[in-house]
Amino acid sequence: MPRQLVQALRDRGIDASRFQGHWTSKTNGELIRAVEADGFAVLVTNDKNIADQQSLRGRNIAVVALPHNRRRPIVERVDDIADTIRRAEPGQHVVMGLDGSRMVVRATATGPVTQAMPAVPPFDLP
């Protein structure tokens, strides 16, 4: 994610940190465990497939997947990203779509359950 996103989230009251060096070269499962062990509640990424690869069932962390990692469009939408982070609950994988959709997937004992968060305006890509 663009490094400017961290300060923009902090400006909106979100306790955000940059990607830690010791998280480099980790698989998705290792990364989720490391981020959770370091005390973070939400991992923000542009990897939309992480929920298909890693179950968040029983985890104390949520994953928010943004539709891309281009600096300007991401920073311009920081209010919607902050709102999404605030709404995300432990064990949820939230995917923000280019069209403004916000889909929530929660793993349960009987399989994934999908629901929609209220949509936000579409992302404007040049």
pTM: 0.90
Query: Backbone phi, then psi, for 86, in 5-degree steps?
Result: -65, -35
What are the tens digits of pLDDT across the range 30-44? 889 898 998 999 999
What are the tens digits of pLDDT across the range 66-113? 998 888 889 999 999 999 999 999 999 999 999 999 999 998 888 889
Higher pLDDT, 18 or 86: 86
CB 116 within 8 A of CB 102: yes
CA dist., res. 58 & res. 56, Å (int): 6
